[in-house]
Structure 1
């Protein structure tokens, strides 16, 4: 009899938990839809933050102060996006151990970096990554190449892509150009992007700023997000 009561109790608790979870999903969806409607009413472009390639295999070779500065600034923008209810997407490279899905230079020179299942392919531990955030695996420089990024942005009605990460002259530049070619506005957060080659980074930024993208600072984008939140009507 006691065993039967325990089973009945467990079933009842499971039902309660399931219903609570379903209610939470419905409430979150309702809030998101309301947020989208309000933004449309105010004529506000929806933004999405994409953080590219801040993985251990890359940052381990950087000057520690430089890497720390990049991570701290990026985390500040991540927090601002979350507080604004806007999407955050993490993009990182990852390749098979045999390099069969890697790009030509890696295969020809046997460059073994960002290998799946290793610490090197994972995001840096100090980043404000959240399990609820979307994480995209890419195989080439562009975050759009054979990934679901374009679909996710269209589904979420994003009109402006904000980019953080590395390297300015390669993966950031490719993502910015590919976003622009898809009629998305692009913001490059100057103190949240960086490169191992300063000259190539400078030339890339000079080319993109005012044409492909607009260059801003972390403080500027955070202020913009705060002012947009303040403009939303109270519940």
Structure 2
């Protein structure tokens, strides 16, 4: 049996980060790249090709409203030097989303505009080791709508972190895909429990 130990000294409560200010919404389009979307691609996500029209429609609608479009993508080195440790063995067996290759390009039908925000993400959350939070605050964004792939990984990780940073968040149900319907539905339900609105 281990004896209970008291924590040393009084615990200090760290100050919360200031809430995002502004009234703009950002649509985050996550990992809609050929190697994750096209049929037969190395890391094809089930149903990813089918959600392209829904994402394109959301982009068009939100551009008219003056919202910010954010493109979060992967761009790996062929030697795997910038791949997450957990993914590296699999990546080295069958590389995907390699910078400068067609596999890392956005899928046909989704086209960035010069005024959009684009970033390369080094891990599941688009906020991890990027300046995304700063850029969104500078743009006056207080709400984030997520779409893309894979819902159970990068989309979910990004929106959960966004909630922690004080953003109002939602996920566009018809514009996300995951490895199967069970994973899709389970993650949508979990995200609703985390105060992320599921839009239909």
TM-score bracket, normalised by the shorter chain, equals 0.7 to 0.9
Aligned residue in 2 for 1:197:
180
Distance in 2 between the 1:182 and 1:90 partners? 19
Distance in 2 between the 1:203 and 1:66 partners? 16
Mapped pair 1:180 → 2:130: no
C-alpha displacement at 1:210, in angstroms?
A: 4.5
Which structure 2 segments of 5+ residues have no match? 1-20
Aligned residue in 2 for 1:45:
23
Query: Going by fraction, where is helix more abundant, 1 or 2?
Result: 1
Q: How does 1:25-64 map to 2 (within 5 A)?
A: 45-61=23-39
8 Å contact kept, 1:176–1:212:
no
Higher RCO structure, 1 or 2 (CA under 8 Å, sep 6+): 2
Which structure 1 segments of 5+ residues have no match? 1-39, 218-235
Q: Aligned to 1:156, which of 128, 139, 149?
A: 139
Aligned residue in 2 for 1:213:
196
Aligned residue in 2 for 1:121:
104
Aligned residue in 1 for 2:17:
none
Q: How does 1:108-147 map to 2 (within 5 A)?
A: 108-109=89-90, 110=92, 111-147=94-130
Corresponding residue pairs, total: 174
Using the size of structure 1 for normalisation, the TM-score is: 0.69
CA deviation profile, 1:119-174 (whole Å, cap 9, x unmatched): 00111121132233221101111111111211111111211101010111111110
8 Å contact kept, 1:56–1:123:
yes
Mapped pair 1:87 → 2:82: no
C-alpha displacement at 1:68, in angstroms?
A: 4.4
Mapped pair 1:166 → 2:149: yes
8 Å contact kept, 2:38–2:49:
no
- The two structures, once aligned, show a CA RMSD in angstroms of 2.0
Distance in 1 between the 2:172 and 2:198 partners? 6
Aligned residue in 1 for 2:83:
102
Distance in 2 between the 1:196 and 1:61 partners? 13
Using the size of structure 2 for normalisation, the TM-score is: 0.80
